[in-house]
Structure 1
């Protein structure tokens, strides 16, 4: 069966029946455009590859229900690509942590523990003022480097609750840093 001159809609319908050649042709037609668009959305090569792969895996999985504009699947593929990029951005934001201010990270390495504790006493006081659950979450995520999902499982809370509690704790600590520096 010749598929070269067929529309994207026909190729998608053939993909539903397991026609890999038809889906391969659809991929060949649009993968460069989807890849260029992914590069416009993210700057990491691995992220681009992941987004493009996810876009075409979604197209394969949803080939039977995809509604395309006119005869091209490209607009649908680009919207799907954008959605995967936004999902990846949200996923990375959930697991991102902020770096310590310059010099603060070196305190423990260059000074004895007692002196380091005195220098950051105001930070420790703010951490101690947090309720037990917030202190536990801060310890798990900020000190031990665990993911929000791991911390949520350990403290018996949702990932959203862990995220909100850390956001409030970070705001409180930033305020303390700002007040201490004045």
Structure 2
């Protein structure tokens, strides 16, 4: 069973209220999802709280995940990232607090990026990103890989917020079409 199939299986069991499946999903994904929270929030305590909120939401919304050929990690990461961004927006950035990288626990298992590189999908994604105008590709990377908010992108580029949203939506559609080919 592939890791993708295993996570899909666990999500379907969680949707039925299986606590053991939830525990296994936590063990398999918490380090990666925590790193998503930490990357957005840059505060360990806030990231831990966001992760807890994410797993509560996963428990309650596991039935909303649909097997569609895409990675279930994408669904989990998106859900977690959105929670972290919402917390970041509510709290606002704290310039006085610095992240101590020594506190971050390293995970020796291959991360999502290493799995993508291993499967060849990373190369396809990079090829499709190159088909986008350079400025749009940078926006996609900053929004979906670095965790920048639309407002941060708007402020950094001087482009109106709604225009940023439109560009990102259209760029994602182009990427989806390219990846499906």
TM-score bin, normalised by smaller chain: 0.3 to 0.5
Higher-RCO chain (CA-CA 8 Å, sequence separation at least 6): 2
TM-score calculated relative to the size of structure 1: 0.45
